[in-house]
Amino acid sequence: MNAPLTSCPAGVAHGATRLSIPADGTENDDKNPPCIAPRHLFDVSVGDDNLFHGERYKWSLRFTVINLTNKEALYNFLFTFSGTHFVTPRSETVELGFHF
């Protein structure tokens, strides 16, 4: 048999780790709304725009890492048109270019 649904007792901390929820009785949709918890993300990119030091034709090479620490987080919370999304997981990209 399932237990009946009950409400959360007052004064108990909320368990949201990705949201910043105001204390009970202090929420104001204009000045103190629930929002995304602060986070820090790190992206790194290293490359060279003239790899072989050519005059006429140039080769470029770039290595990029997005979300280096592979942190899980949310962004765009309560945005009217796009909604809430998770940050992209860590991804690595290598780009090779030929410029003439």
Segment 40-87, tens digit of pLDDT: 899 999 999 999 999 999 999 999 999 999 999 887 655 567 777 888
In this prediction, residue 48 carries a pLDDT of 96
d(CA 83, CA 7): 27
Q: Which residue type does 80 have?
A: T
In this prediction, residue 57 carries a pLDDT of 94
Domain boundaries, the chain: 40-99
The single residue listed with the structure tokens 């140039």 is 58
What Cα–Cα distance (Å) separates residue 67 from each residue in 16, 53, 63, 73?
22, 31, 13, 10
Averaged pLDDT score across all residues of the chain: 82
The two structure tokens encoding residue 57 = 């034709």
In this prediction, residue 58 carries a pLDDT of 95
On the question of pLDDT at 33 being above 80, the answer is no
- DSSP secondary structure string for all residues of 69-97: T----EESTT-TTT--EEPPPPEEEEEEE
Residue % of the chain over a pLDDT of 70: 79
Query: Taking the model in full, what pTM does it have?
Result: 0.64
